């Protein structure tokens, strides 16, 4: 899928010759695209709107096949109230329109939205990302795949001259999101720790990143007892993945991204039940998918001045004669001892050693992403991820990047007094607090493994990593959540 931009100064017919035109219209049928749509259709435009009952409500999409003998088919998309129109509405309607266009068999697609009030490069980026991500389909695990019919050329029409600069990072970012979606959707008998290590190697090879994979012995030598405790119940060997992007030239900022990489979470001896969605726990590596997707994007974008480390302590949480018992005490690589009062709170154990390792790299900031708690899903639902950070600067930068990229975060409290919920009589701390505030105690647990004063943020993506229904830019299934925010944050940080 190619993208290009066209300002359209004169008549549309003379400047654009595609087969399918999407026009976004405010309710009832107003906006800058209307005149061009009328030009294409000719007389009878008004009658057509009435016959098809087009009212311009948000989400309303009607397809008109070559209306009035026009050379192109026309898809009208309702945008609702102009006062509520912004980048997010533009994204949602672009994705919906792209799907309607693909269904109609569009090959050369034009998109015409009333973007005059929006920052031109941001508008162009939002449209292009929405089209590409909205059309994503995954048929790897079907025995008879239907070849997808996708447009080959997408022209963003009626944008300001120079807006195409907004396309600069779109392809790389979308490839990162798509990689994350593929990794998350892959079943647990295919996406193993070894598979994640191979995917990291493929990114390293393709974009010239450095890769180190620590085996069980290496992790033992580093004293990673918390991570290895989780891994010991599985027949599959753990893989501790460390991928590094180094810019050419001087490094002014070093960042570490840490992703939870549980390729399956059975719960261990605190076994999950059918009602706890055990069959979905293949997506418990959604954090690792996001950071690997971001690594792929950064490898392609190659920002100057910025060094990025990606860490994934990958393993499975399984049951066997060798698995950890509830009640075991594990020692993490910073020497802290942890009483395991629930084997299902395993993600924080793997992250503990990953965060200690990350701090050892002496970065300017650490961001971890994890499908950490069901409690976060209860608190924020499936469209908003939780964000915890003791650093206001880092929290604000991530919130802003999320907002710019179209992913929603809500800052949650690292309330110190809740730490008492993790008090253990036998070890330094327990791995599980009481049920109320469960996503907060999980974040407080992680904080114990981060060097004091080092800017760190924890993103709980348990709710946002998967969508049962198609929603906006996300087809049903894996969303690739987190990649767009990480890339926007990293690129902004590299520029500042």
Q: By CB under 5 A, name the binding residues for Mn ion.
A: 265, 344, 346
- From the CB of 328, what's the least distance to Zn ion, in Å? 17
User: Is the C-alpha dihedral spanning 65, 66, 67, 69 positive or negative?
Assistant: negative
Using rule CB under 5 A, residue 164 touches Zn ion: no
Q: Binding to ligand BES (CB under 6 A): which residues in 116-135?
A: none
461 contacts: CB under 8 Å, gap ≥ 6 = 286, 287, 290, 369, 370, 371, 385, 481, 482
Instruction: Give how far Cα 487 sits from Cα of 76, 83, 137, 301, Å.
Output: 32, 29, 22, 9
Dihedral, CA of residue 318, residue 323, residue 324 and residue 326, to nearest 10? 70
- From the CB of 121, what's the least distance to ligand BES, in Å? 35
In DSSP terms, which residues pair with 261 in a beta bridge? Answer: 314
- From the CB of 442, what's the least distance to Mn ion, in Å? 10
- From the CB of 354, what's the least distance to ligand BES, in Å? 15
Q: Which of 86, 202, 108, 197 is nearest to 155 (CA)?
A: 108
CB-based contact 298:490 (threshold 8 Å): yes
Residue nearest to Zn ion (CB): 265
The option from Zn ion, ligand BES, Mn ion, none interacting with 432 (CB < 5 to 8 A, set by class) reads ligand BES
Catalytic residue among 272, 282, 430, 484: 272
- From the CB of 96, what's the least distance to ligand BES, in Å? 27
Binding-site size, ligand BES (CB under 6 A): 16
Q: Is 282 known to be catalytic?
A: no
Q: Which of 116, 140, 88 is nearest to 484 (CA)?
A: 88
Reported in sequence order, the residue ranges of 341-487 that DSSP labels E, i.e. its strands, are 365-370, 384-388, 408-411, 429-430, 456-460, 466-467, 477-478
Peptide bond before residue 251 is cis, with ω within 30 degrees of 0 = no
What strands lie across the sheet with 239-245, from one edge to the other?
210-214, 239-245, 306-317, 253-265, 365-370, 456-460, 384-388, 408-411
Catalytic residue among 34, 91, 239, 348: 348
Among 19, 178, 284, 448, binds ligand BES (CB under 6 A): 284
Which SS3 state, helix, strand or coil, does residue 270 take? Answer: coil
The option from ligand BES, Mn ion, Zn ion, none interacting with 462 (CB < 5 to 8 A, set by class) reads ligand BES
Measured from the CB atom, is 307 or 346 closer to Mn ion? 346
Residue nearest to Mn ion (CB): 344
Q: What is the DSSP letter of 202?
A: H
The option from ligand BES, Mn ion, Zn ion, none interacting with 438 (CB < 5 to 8 A, set by class) reads ligand BES
CB-based contact 29:54 (threshold 8 Å): yes
Using rule CB under 6 A, residue 342 touches ligand BES: yes
Q: How far apart are the first and last CA of the chain?
A: 32
The option from Mn ion, Zn ion, ligand BES, none interacting with 295 (CB < 5 to 8 A, set by class) reads none
Measured from the CB atom, is 23 or 442 closer to Zn ion? 442
How much helix, strand and coil, in percent to the nearest 5, is found in the chain? Answer: 40, 20, 40
Using rule CB under 6 A, residue 347 touches ligand BES: yes
Q: Is 253 known to be catalytic?
A: no
Which SS3 state, helix, strand or coil, does residue 193 take? Answer: helix
Q: Which of 445, 465, 442, 327 is nearest to 385 (CA)?
A: 465
Among 6, 21, 292, 375, binds ligand BES (CB under 6 A): 375
- From the CB of 386, what's the least distance to ligand BES, in Å? 12
Among 164, 178, 344, 368, binds ligand BES (CB under 6 A): 344
CB-based contact 292:180 (threshold 8 Å): yes
Measured from the CB atom, is 127 or 262 closer to ligand BES? 262
Candidates 112-120, 125-133, 156-164, 345-353 — which segment interacts with ligand BES by CB under 6 A? Answer: 345-353
Q: Binding to Zn ion (CB under 5 A): which residues in 267-296?
A: 284
Using rule CB under 6 A, residue 33 touches ligand BES: no
List the x/- string, 330-369, binding to Zn ion by CB under 5 A.
-----------------x----------------------
Q: Binding to ligand BES (CB under 6 A): which residues in 242-281?
A: 265
Measured from the CB atom, is 265 or 407 closer to Zn ion? 265
Using rule CB under 5 A, residue 463 touches Zn ion: no
Among 58, 82, 305, 374, binds ligand BES (CB under 6 A): 374
Measured from the CB atom, is 9 or 273 closer to ligand BES? 273
Q: What is the DSSP letter of 427?
A: S
Q: Which of 376, 386, 391, 443 is nearest to 416 (CA)?
A: 443
- Which residue shows structure tokens 């327990």? 430
- From the CB of 407, what's the least distance to ligand BES, in Å? 17
CB-based contact 261:368 (threshold 8 Å): no
Binding site for ligand BES (CB under 6 A): 265, 284, 342, 344-347, 371-375, 377, 432, 438, 462
Please give the positions annotated as active site: 272, 348
């Amino acid at each position: 899928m190619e993208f290009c931009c066209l300002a359209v100064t004169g008549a549309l017919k003379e400047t654009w010759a595609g087969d399918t035109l999407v026009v976004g219209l405010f309710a009832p049928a107003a906006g800058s695209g209307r005149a061009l749509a009328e030009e294409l259709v000719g007389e009878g435009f008004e009658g057509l709107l009435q016959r098809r009952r087009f009212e311009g409500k948000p989400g309303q999409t009607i397809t008109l096949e070559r209306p009035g003998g026009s050379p192109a088919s026309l898809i009208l998309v309702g945008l609702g109230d102009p006062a509520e129109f912004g980048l997010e509405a533009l994204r949602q309607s672009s994705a919906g329109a792209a799907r309607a266009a693909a269904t109609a068999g569009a090959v050369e697609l034009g998109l015409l939205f009333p973007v005059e009030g929006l920052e031109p490069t941001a508008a162009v980026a939002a449209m292009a990302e929405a089209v590409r991500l909205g059309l994503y389909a995954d048929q790897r695990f079907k025995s008879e795949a239907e070849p997808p019919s996708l447009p080959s050329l997408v022209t963003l029409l009626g944008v300001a001259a120079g807006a195409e600069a907004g396309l600069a990072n779109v392809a790389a970012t979308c490839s990162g999101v798509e990689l994350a979606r593929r990794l998350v959707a892959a079943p647990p008998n295919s996406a193993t720790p070894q598979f994640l290590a191979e995917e990291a190697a493929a990114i390293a090879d393709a974009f010239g990143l450095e890769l180190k994979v620590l085996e069980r012995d290496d992790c033992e030598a580093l004293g990673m007892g918390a991570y290895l405790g989780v891994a010991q119940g599985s027949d599959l060997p753990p893989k501790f993945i460390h991928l590094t992007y180094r810019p050419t030239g001087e490094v002014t900022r070093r960042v570490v991204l840490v992703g939870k990489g549980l390729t399956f979470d059975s719960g261990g001896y605190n076994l999950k039940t059918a009602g706890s969605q055990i069959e979905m726990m293949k997506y418990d590596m959604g954090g690792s998918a996001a950071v690997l997707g971001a690594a792929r994007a950064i490898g392609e974008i190659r920002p100057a001045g910025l060094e990025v480390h990606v860490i994934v302590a990958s393993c499975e949480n399984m049951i066997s004669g060798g698995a950890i018992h509830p009640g075991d005490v594990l020692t993490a690589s910073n020497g802290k001892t942890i009483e395991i009062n629930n084997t299902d709170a395993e993600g924080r154990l793997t992250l503990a050693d990953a965060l200690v390792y990350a701090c050892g790299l002496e970065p300017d900031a650490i961001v971890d992403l994890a499908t950490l708690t069901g409690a976060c899903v209860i608190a924020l639902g499936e469209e908003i991820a939780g964000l915890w950070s003791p650093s206001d600067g880092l929290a604000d930068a991530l919130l802003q990047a999320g907002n710019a990229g179209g992913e929603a975060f809500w800052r949650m409290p690292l309330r110190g007094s809740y730490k008492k919920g993790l008090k253990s009589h036998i070890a330094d701390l327990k791995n599980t607090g009481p049920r109320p505030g469960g996503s907060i105690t999980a974040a407080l647990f992680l904080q114990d493994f981060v060097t004091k004063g080092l800017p760190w943020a924890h993103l709980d993506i348990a709710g946002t990593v998967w969508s049962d229904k198609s929603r906006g830019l996300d087809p049903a299934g894996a969303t690739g959540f987190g990649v767009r925010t990480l890339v926007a944050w990293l690129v902004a940080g590299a520029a500042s």
